[in-house]
Amino acid sequence: MSTPATLEKGFGTKRSAVSVRGWALAVLSFQTLGIIYSDIGTSPLYVLNGIWAPSGPVPSKEDVIGGLSAIIWSLTILPLCKYVLVCLRFGTSEGEGGTYALFQGLFPPKHSDLDDDRTLTGDSLKTESTASKLSPKLWWPLLVVSLFGTSLTLADGVFTPAVSVTSAVGGIAVAKQSVANDVTPISIAFLVALFLIQSRGTSFLAYFFAPITFIWLLLLAITGIVNITHFPGIWRAFDPSRAVLLFVRTGNYDLLAGVLLAITGCEALFANLGQFNMASIQISFTFFVYPSLVLAYLGQGARLITDGDAVISNIFYNTIPGPDKGGLFWVMYVFAILATLIASQAMITATFSLIQQLINMRNLPAFRMKYTSEKIQGQVYIPIINWALMIVIIIVVAVFKSSTALTNAYGFAVATVMITTTVLVALQFKYVKGISAWYGLLFFLFFGFFDGLFWGAALRKIPHGAWVPLMIGLILLSSIMFWTWAKRLEDKFDGSTRENLRHIILCRDEDVIDEKASTASEEQTVFESSGKRVVIADDVPHDNIPRFILTRQYSHASDACNGLQRAMIKKPLARIPTCAIFHKLTTGRGVPHSFATFLRQWPALPRIVIFLSVSVLNVPRLPASERYSVTRVRSIEGFYGVTYALGFRDDFDVQVTEIIDRICDIEARAHPEDAVSRSQEIRSVAESYTHIVPYYMVSSRNKPGGKIRWVQNWVRRLLVEEVYQRISTMFPETANWLGSTDEIIHVGVNAVI
């Protein structure tokens, strides 16, 4: 067996979390500023006006201090304590974050065994169990919870750019009221430009944006310090009792929906974990982002107390120090627009990361992905998602028209995702980390209390626009759940029809078959190839067998046989001098159903038969010498199992000559006496090769029953045969794998699922 050195080192099919230290960690921490924090970092643009409306009365001094106290402690309890200090420790072993990553931790995905993928004659029906300690009955409920959180995070990726960019551009109306009506088209123009540069990749954007965000946050901190000097008493906002007294005194629960706007970017800290790592996010947020935001809010509050009516119409822009509409105003305006574009980037990047997870776990169709980093696999660009997101965001901006209307709809998705994250992390304490369940319960009760407060406030905004992100989230959830359900049915069919190669074809040197008997029955014709007779054998002692064999046994086996396992039916095969490469779409032992279907449709056996599995490793690129691992089937001449390993930035490009070279090496070691002649024969045959890929024609399995069951069967058939079949045809799993269609045969497989 030929095994690449990289595989021997134990990379397997998993990738690992980003691990850097020293200067590299400092650089990565700086990069996080350009991707993660611009969402939460641009909140000072609209938070205070989200609590106190621009057209409303000026709040009292105590109300302002209470509101600032609520903001400060919300930033402390949720982004800092919950996400940065706790949740970042619960990413997957591959370094992914987000609600779906938490689900993967509770129900770890099955990672394929590379040796098993090349095992063609072993027990292909061996089942694998996951490492989950939770009851399998909780799989679907927790999957729905995690996917709902993921769907709402994706919905938040629509509203974050819409709110932040519109709020920043709206500052021009402060300086020049005549262009107030142009805020929407200007905002759309900026957003379109942002989406046009996404293909350059996360790493490029991070280096470009990080310095801008750094300056923006630094400006927030400096202006905050200057503004605090107008009313130093604003430091009393660090007293949490001031926040409690605000709600007791006013009885206005809706104020909390405005406070929620200050923490809307906190979920991006966790969702972007796959783009960076835990240490880099902890360092940048704790020591730079958090202090800058606190100082900015304190400064705005101090000016609101002292200047009141003069600043209430647009608290952010009207509290910029210096002369009215002076140089600093325009500097802040330019950096506000740039920072809000980067805020949009934070959620766009998180969206790509989440979509990548869903595609890898087969919860979404195989959209084309472009890896954009030589170091980090989590940095991807997905064209179809990029353009779809751009269209939806433009529609939202055009419909809502103003930042005030958008903020009413903003926040609900984040509040719901925060609760989802709390529930899943609480379960992970015991079932993943092995920590006492009491700690998980304490985590849930403490942080769940604050999450629940914010969620209740956001829920009251549903009639005022929050129904839009809820609707988007439900549509996404329905789509993801549908694809997950249908793909699992197809994969279950694929796994159940995997076969031991010796159960499909047999090579029997010892058989002596009467020539007259052979010609009398077309089912028992045999042929000679390399001294071996090759036939199809249907004596499979179980039900999980290819459909065409099962049908032939039923039609020819007599009642006296008392079971299919006693039936022996043979079909002739002609051995042809060519090479066939059968692609295995799912992992596992045995040969795919497409092989048996191919023999039924084209009753000929190629001289060289290769079963190819693909394994993407956690390195950006692999040298050609380490990409192929080959196993020879000893019992059947000319059959080989091959693992094609590639880095996550390598293009899928199967070099058949490389595989043939390894096959020749294996045969030379197995048959040294005639190594030269065998090598010449194999190379001559392999000059003509064909890739054979299964094409599943799925049909819904009908279940017997009355009228209600008939309706269920009709709906199921519509979903499976019309919707799923069409989408899977549009986005085939092999779309990015193979090149010229002249070298591909698609074998149609009827799959009843």
Q: What is the 3-state secondary structure (H, E, C) of 74-140?
A: HHHHHHHHHHHHHHHHHCCCCCCCCHHHHHHHHCCCCCCCHHHHCCCCCCCCCCCCCCCCCCHHHHH
- Whether residues 301 and 345 share a domain: the answer is yes
For position 95, what pLDDT does the model report? 64
Strands 604-617 and 628-632, bridge-based pairing: unpaired
DSSP single-letter state for residue 723? I
Whether the pLDDT of residue 12 is over 60: the answer is: no
Residue 528 pairs in a beta bridge with: 533
Antiparallel, parallel or unpaired: β 570-572 and 370-371 = unpaired
Among 256-260, 407-411, 454-458, the range scoring the smallest mean pLDDT is: 407-411
Query: Taking Cα atoms as reference points, which of 108, 135, 10, 615 lies closest to residue 361?
Result: 108
The domain that holds 439 is classified in CATH as 1.20.1740
Q: Which segment, 108-112, 137-141, 216-220, is predicted with the most confidence on average?
A: 216-220
700: DSSP letter: P
Pairwise CA distance, residues 17 & 307, whole Å: 50
Predicted local distance difference test score (pLDDT) of residue 741: 61
Sign of CA dihedral 624, 629, 633, 639: negative
In DSSP notation, 141-165 reads: HHHHHHHHHHHHHHHHHHHHHHHHH
* Residue 116 amino acid letter: D
Residues 204, 284: one domain? yes
Quick check: helix, strand or coil at residue 508?
Answer: coil
How many angstroms separate the CA atoms of 600 and 425, rounded? 51
In a domain, 115, yes or no: no
Residue 376 has pLDDT above 70, yes or no: no
- Measured CA to CA, the distance from residue 597 to residue 601 in angstroms comes to 6
In this structure, are 434 and 524 located in the same domain? no
- Which domain covers residue 589, as residue numbers? 494-752
- Arithmetic mean of pLDDT, 526-539: 38
Averaged pLDDT of the chain: 79
28 within some domain: no
DSSP string, 167-204: HHHTTHHHH-GGGGGGHHHHHHHHHHHHHHTGGG-HHH
pLDDT in tens, 215-240: 999 999 999 999 999 999 999 999 99
Of residues 9 and 647, more confidently modeled: 647
Cβ neighbours, 10 Å, residue 252:
12
Within this chain, do residues 425 and 504 fall inside the same structural domain, yes or no? Answer: no
Q: Is the dihedral of CA 51, 54, 59, 65 positive or negative?
A: positive
**Residues 318 and 368 placed together within one structural domain of the fold:** yes
In a domain, 454, yes or no: yes
pLDDT at 385 over 60: yes
Q: Do 458 and 344 have their domain in common?
A: yes
Residues 457 and 525 in one domain: no
Q: Is 482 helix (H, G, I), strand (E, B) or coil?
A: helix
Residue 123: φ, ψ to 5°: -75, 100
pLDDT band at 693 (very low <50, low <70, confident <90, very high): confident
Same domain, 290 and 437: yes
- Separation of alpha carbons 85 and 83, rounded Å: 6
DSSP string, 215-235: HHHHHHHHHHHHHHTT-GGGG
On whether residue 36 sits in a domain, the answer given is: no
Residue 113 pLDDT class (50, 70, 90 cuts) = low
Q: Which residues pair with 631 in a beta bridge?
A: 641
Indicate whether 26 belongs to any domain: no
Q: How far apart, in whole angstroms, are the C-alpha atoms of residue 498 and residue 529?
A: 26
- Domain membership of residue 114 (yes or no) is no
> Does residue 145 lie in a domain region?
no
Residues 300 and 59: their CA atoms lie apart, in Å, by 13
Q: Give 97's contacts (C-beta < 8 A, 6+ positions apart).
A: 87, 88, 91, 270, 271, 272, 273, 274
Same domain, 651 and 743: yes
Burial per residue of 268-283, b for 16 or more beta-carbon CB atoms within 10 angstroms, e otherwise: bbbbbbbbbbbbbbbb
Is 300 found in the same domain as 255?
yes
CA distance 545 to 47: 63
**Which distant-in-sequence residues (6+ apart) come within 8 Å of 357 by Cβ?**
96, 98, 100, 101, 104, 274
Q: pLDDT tens, 296-337? A: 999 999 999 999 888 998 899 899 998 877 789 889 988 988
Are 459 and 500 within one domain? no
Structural domain total, the chain: 2
Token pair, residue 16, equals 């690992």
What are 687's two structure tokens? 């000059």
Q: Residue 516 domain-assigned?
A: yes
Average pLDDT over residues 717-743: 79
Q: What is the pLDDT of residues 142-168, one digit of tens each?
A: 989 888 988 888 887 788 888 888 888
Looking at the chain, the number of H-run helices and the number of E-run strands are 30, 12
Strands 689-699 and 505-507: unpaired
Q: Are residues 515 and 664 in the same domain?
A: yes
